[in-house]
Structure 1
Amino acid sequence: MSTRSADKPARKLAETPVSATAQRIVRATAGAAVEDEAAPVHPNDLFTKLARTGLLLDVLQRECLEPHGLAFAEYSVLRILQREPRRRLSPSRLAERIVRTTGAVTKLVDRLEGAGLVERRPDDSDGRAVQVQLTAAGGRLADAASRAYTAGRERVLARLSESEVRATMASLDRLIELLENDVAGVERRSR
């Protein structure tokens, strides 16, 4: 771990190393990457590859973000707020954007607020509600973590052609659309 400069919060937010379970799953699914072009595709094959991709992406995110004291969900909150024109959002809107429950977002915001990276402010349009506001320290940390994460992603993606990236993105866009519709249907049915 790197030492933190004085302008960064002293409290390290991301303390959990990549779990032993995640490491075992990555190793166990490594054989699933071999494919036979002539064999029929089984639906589980796609989800196995997606799960493996997710686990490997988690390792990359930890490598890039842990030196900055952030877990990916915390980084996501900071970056989302940073991209907002007023650098603030409601907790429920944050929950939608990072696909977490409002309870999970409350815990994330508590940790980030405790580290001085965000603060809760009254909502200008509804005095009963609050907005989560990015602080200057949160913006600086988001910038530094973003540089590290961008470098990590570029290191991986440099091995793909632009057409491979575009094809992968198009396929993932379609899968995301299907999953979002499925999740919305599950939520409607559970009410």
Structure 2
Amino acid sequence: MSSPDATPGASSAIGSALYQLATRAVRRLPRDLSLTSAATLATLDKTGPRRVTDLAAHEGVTQPAMTVLVRALEESGLVERRGDVSDKRVTLVCLTEDGASYVRARRQAGVEAFQRLIDQLTEDEVRALAAALPALRRLDTLDGQKREGTRP
């Protein structure tokens, strides 16, 4: 919900700016994996081992599509399947060390790309971005809760 004294149209303008930045950031990423594959690895890095069905729901793909994707990631050595110690009927998809390294390297490359851009801003612009960090982190939290189906 927007603040009543927020500038009219501010949500739209901010949303547009964030969307443009995110779109350009995605376009700069290496094309060695599909976006869904990379997102799946990032999800596993953030949340830990998950069932294929959970990953499919989280990434917005069908269970058969996620099964194929996991098989390809497994063949690449980025994930492995393990039994769930709490329920022997369940198989979990887990990041391997190579998968975790891939996620860290990809994340670091993205951070460095933004750092190079931020280094071109004025001190006042950098301070404005720093002041916006709590709101940006809150947006990330809200988006994560929406994707997980939890309430804020």
Check the 8 A contact 1:65/1:148 in 2, yes or no: no
Higher RCO (C-alpha 8 Å, min separation 6) = 1
Instruction: Check 1:175–1:133 CA distance in 2 against 1; reply closer, same or farther (3 A cut).
Output: closer
Equivalent residue for 1:167, pick from 96, 112, 131: 131
In the alignment, the residues of structure 1 paired with residue 112 and residue 78 of structure 2 have an alpha-carbon distance, to the nearest angstrom, of: 23
- Identity percentage over the alignment? 24
Deviations 1:78-135 (A, max 9, x none): 3454467xxx411366568xx5347378254344234331122211111111211112
Q: Which residue of 1 aligns with 2:41?
A: 78
Distance 1:56 1:71 in 2: 19
Count of paired positions: 135
Letter in 1 for 2:118: L
Alignment RMSD (CA, Å): 3.6
Compared CA separation, residues 112 and 52, structure 1 to 2 (3 A): farther
Aligned to 2:115: 154
Query: 1:130 and 1:116 mapped to 2: Cα distance?
Result: 17
Deviation of the 1:175 alpha carbon: 4.7
- How many angstroms apart in 2 are the aligned matches of 1:76 and 1:49? 24
Report the TM-score when normalising by structure 2: 0.61
Distance 1:52 1:170, change over 3 A: same
After superposition, residues 17-96 of structure 1 pair within 5 angstroms as: 41-42=8-9, 45-66=10-31, 69-82=32-45, 88-91=48-51
8 Å contact kept, 1:90–1:131? yes
Cα distance in structure 2, aligned partners of 1:112 and 1:127: 23
Check 1:64–1:101 CA distance in 2 against 1; reply closer, same or farther (3 A cut): closer
Q: Distance in 2 between matches of 1:130 and 1:148?
A: 32
Instruction: Call closer, same or farther: CA 1:152–1:177 in 2, change over 3 Å.
Output: closer
In structure 2, the gaps of 5 or more residues are 1-6
**Counterpart contact for 2:80–2:96, Cα < 8 Å:** yes
Task: Give the direction of change, closer, same or farther, for the CA distance of 1:177–1:144 in structure 2 (3 Å limit).
Answer: closer
